[in-house]
Structure 1
Amino acid sequence: MVGPAQVGVLAACVVLFVPMGMAGWHLSRNKMLFFSGALFITLAVGVHLTPYFPSLSQLLLSSLSSSPPHHPLHLPRPSTCLPFLHRLSWLPSSPTASSPALWQWAPSAPTLSCGFQRLSRLDASDLLNGSWILVAGDSQARLFVLALLRLLLDPAAMDPVEADLFRRHSDYHIAVADHGIKLDFVWAPFEPNLTAIFRDLRTGPRYPDVLVLGSGLWHMLHVTNSSEYGESLVAVKKAAASLVSPVSPEFGLDGILASSVQPPHMFWLGLPTLVTSMLNTEEKRERMNRTVWEAYDRGVGESKILKRSGGPFLLLNIGLLSRGCGRRCTADGMHYDGVVYEAALHIMLNALLIESQQRI
């Protein structure tokens, strides 16, 4: 049985070759006119043939409507990706290594669909271009700053920078001129120190673009009162809210301040996992045990300072990251290898990508 496609092809051949043969006989002396006529006839045949080959039509339409893919760094990630930022896998750097020194996002469906990535120096510099970053807290915050500087600066420049950064109980300031990045570290080991920082910011001409805070170790050692610690964090939360809404701060269900003014991107450095037997003084081993740590960790949750409970701060969970790296990643049971703070840094950078997309 002859189908419609065969009939269409036969008709097209008649339409094409008969007129072209006749035209070729009369127009062979005028090549321009001949080829113009041939082109017109070929286009006409194409119009007749297209309905008989739907796949050809679909191919033409798809080629016209397709758009080039975006670079993964610029893909908008939904805010629903935030809960999966800490899903990391820890691997030893070599079969004989004593300390796990490699990490990656776990190859699970959520992390793969969210497209988390370790940013290069160039990508991180572009993301933070023109930003003012303020980090305040204790030694954990200082180690976080070190991880950030190691990413942004050339390794040859790190020796003098590291010497200045680790001057005992001191502030530190640096500008990355190539990208207009300003980085301030403020030594603020107690929670009232953090509250005072917010008071100072309110009187200044601008707010930081990124704000990273953390505290608790000094309070745990010198005060050892988790209830008081939680109350102090409530004061920090209120002070953070005053940057945007000084009269009556309100938080939406998603934890973002309800205000026409853009608040800084705020992050909270969680308490590291403590290995009590490795702490270097008897006083620390007595006061900084697992039971006390858990009480202080509950104090963070009960203060509702974190976004997951309606506050302004997104948690950088140093406790979880340090447990994942393990006790081989710490020499004193409190401060961990740089890889832990590097992981926290890249979690923050990916969170900034997400939050920046939500604010556009």
Structure 2
Amino acid sequence: MLLGAVQLGLLAACIVLFVPMAMAGWHLSRNKMLFFSCALFITLAVGVHLMPYFPSISAFISPSEVITPAPSISSLYHDSCLSSLHSVLYSGVVKQCDNESDCNKSWEWIKSNQVNDCEFQKLKKSDASDLLNGSWVVVAGDSQARLMAVSLLELIMGSEQMERIRGDLFKRHSDYSIMVNEIGMKLDFVWAPYVGNLTELVLKLKRNKNFPDVMVMGAGLWDMLHMNNASEYGISLRVLRDNILTLLPVSSNLDPDSGGVSESKSTRLLHLFWVGMPTLMTSMLNTDEKRERMTDVMCNSYDDELNRSKLLRETGGPLLKLDIHLLSNSCGPQCTADGMHYDEVVYGAALQIMLNALLIESNQKPQ
């Protein structure tokens, strides 16, 4: 495109220079020659300035030289930091420990230039409260999703208050709702062990035209145990994806300029996360049926269907994955008692990854 513009400029210069000279050779009067030269110059100048507004002309001049604009620096930073969020390393994880307090399991982001540039931080109660102030958070899915809700409430409310509600939150196969009045945050946990249950929830939100600010969902373990059909699982994931896409774009209350709840919802998107399935330690599973059905081969088949469904952001979908498989595998068998549900350190790391993703997408930083 640049070469075409240079050539056009040289052509215009030649016309302005040599045409009047040729006219002078025809012995035209000086006034006529000056008048024609000025008219020619003005016409060419106006034409050059108006040409960008006529795409067909630009395309005619150099149709093969159109350059696609490069991604902005902020966009590259955004995508790069999101892809680095799972770069974590555990400490205090040993093969055996006499009791939970002796283990002192913890985690940190891996020290690297990329992670340092992104400035990831473990949000404390005050930072997380500011971020989620006035928000509606929906967590839906199976036991893995429930453990994510536990981690979030424990961070926001503290261990002592969390113990008071733990029994209600862990009632077998039940929903749970709580309003954290101190920050005006509402959290709804919806028991949805199958992907079809998640689709029903999305359709309900659509019918009510009432959408949460943050939605965390995930299902697969029950399907693997009771249905054990990866291809059917993949079909249900695609149905879920299609229904979620009909919700977008919708606005969110997480407005970085409002200092809290935004009065006008217009431009921000619903923040969507997918809770991935954990690494299953087959030999540690507590029933014969689980050990027979929830094998490594079946787990890989279910993961393949998830990737093929294009539900996740990394494959072009709407949900950002919280990779519990990666986080649990890094922690290892010493972090699980039943080969399926892991210690709090794993879900705590996933929660901080989610909160930092919210900071990145909301262009915010903790104080």
Secondary structure of 1:174's counterpart equals: strand
Letter of the 2:236 counterpart:
S
Would you say 1:212 and 2:216 are equivalent positions?
yes
Match of 2:296 among 286, 290, 294: 290
Question: Per-residue displacement from partner, 1:184-235 (whole Å, max 9, x unpaired)?
Answer: 0000000110000011101224210000000000000011111111111001
Secondary structure of 2:363's counterpart equals: helix
- 1:79 positional shift: 3.1
Once residues 153 and 111 of structure 2 are traced to their aligned partners in structure 1, the CA distance between those partners, rounded to angstroms, is 28
- 1:77 positional shift: 6.1
Partner residue, 2:272: 266
TM-score where L is the length of structure 1: 0.72
Partner residue, 2:343: 337
Would you say 1:326 and 2:332 are equivalent positions?
yes
Partner residue, 2:78: 78
Any conservation in 2 of the 1:175–1:183 contact (CA below 8 Å)? yes
- 1:100 positional shift: 6.8
* Stretch deviating more after TM superposition (187-196 or 201-210): 201-210
- 1:106 positional shift: 0.2
Matches within 5 A, 1:31-110: 78-92=78-92, 97=97, 99=103, 101-110=105-114
- 1:261 positional shift: 5.9
Secondary structure of 1:175's counterpart equals: strand
Equivalent pairs counted in the alignment come to 270
Letter of the 1:342 counterpart:
G
- 1:346 positional shift: 0.1
CA RMSD of aligned residues (A): 2.0
Letter of the 2:269 counterpart:
P
Partner residue, 1:307: 313
Partner residue, 1:190: 194
Partner residue, 2:130: 126
Partner residue, 1:227: 231
Letter of the 2:245 counterpart:
A
Over 3 Å counting, the alpha-carbon distance change for 1:226 and 1:126 in structure 2 is same
Letter of the 2:324 counterpart:
I
Once residues 135 and 161 of structure 2 are traced to their aligned partners in structure 1, the CA distance between those partners, rounded to angstroms, is 21
Specify the structure having the higher radius of gyration (Cα): 1
TM-score where L is the length of structure 2: 0.71
Partner residue, 1:177: 181
Partner residue, 2:151: 147
Partner residue, 1:156: 160
- 1:347 positional shift: 0.1
Match of 1:281 among 275, 287, 305: 287
Secondary structure of 1:82's counterpart equals: helix
- 1:264 positional shift: 1.1
**Matched residues, percent identical?**
51
Letter of the 1:273 counterpart:
T
Over 3 Å counting, the alpha-carbon distance change for 1:289 and 1:177 in structure 2 is same
Once residues 89 and 167 of structure 1 are traced to their aligned partners in structure 2, the CA distance between those partners, rounded to angstroms, is 33
In structure 2, list runs of 5 or more residues that go unmatched: 1-75, 251-265
Question: Per-residue displacement from partner, 1:93-116 (whole Å, max 9, x unpaired)?
Answer: 689747571100000111111000
- 1:245 positional shift: 6.3
Partner residue, 1:17: none
Secondary structure of 2:228's counterpart equals: coil
Once residues 93 and 290 of structure 1 are traced to their aligned partners in structure 2, the CA distance between those partners, rounded to angstroms, is 24
Partner residue, 1:53: none
Once residues 211 and 342 of structure 1 are traced to their aligned partners in structure 2, the CA distance between those partners, rounded to angstroms, is 17
Partner residue, 1:23: none
Partner residue, 2:69: none
Once residues 182 and 77 of structure 1 are traced to their aligned partners in structure 2, the CA distance between those partners, rounded to angstroms, is 31
Once residues 231 and 311 of structure 2 are traced to their aligned partners in structure 1, the CA distance between those partners, rounded to angstroms, is 14
In structure 1, list runs of 5 or more residues that go unmatched: 1-75, 247-259
